[in-house]
């Protein structure tokens, strides 16, 4: 049986915090790419260099996240 939470065309019951928690992985990936991209774009406008710096920045953030999640000491 389907439970109707809110009428059609209404956002009643919608929560931004619930959305954020449910999409945290996507938000985190956007930030991982967006931050290195913004920093590299502000320093150079060479598209190839921006791409390399963005990929390198994402790699470093992924390594840091892995280290802190796996490190138990």
- pLDDT tens digits for range 3-26: 666 777 777 878 888 888 899 889
Q: Cα–Cα distance between 8 and 30 in angstroms, integer? A: 31
Does 2 fall in a domain? no
Does 7 fall in a domain? no
pTM (whole model) above 0.85: no
pLDDT digits (tens, 9 = 90+) for 26-40: 988 888 888 888 888
Does 8 fall in a domain? no
Task: Say which residues have a Cβ less than 8 Å from residue 49's Cβ, sequence separation at least 6.
Answer: 40
Does 24 fall in a domain? yes
Does 4 fall in a domain? no
Task: Say which residues have a Cβ less than 8 Å from residue 5's Cβ, sequence separation at least 6.
Answer: 12, 13
Q: How many domains does the chain have?
A: 1
């Amino acid at each position: 049986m389907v439970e109707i939470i809110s009428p059609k065309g209404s956002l009643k019951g919608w929560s931004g915090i619930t959305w954020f928690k449910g999409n945290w992985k996507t938000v985190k990936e956007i930030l991982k790419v967006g931050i290195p991209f913004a920093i590299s774009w502000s320093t150079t406008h060479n598209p190839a260099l921006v791409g390399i710096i963005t990929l390198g920045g994402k790699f470093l953030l992924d390594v840091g996240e892995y280290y802190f999640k796996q490190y138990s000491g």
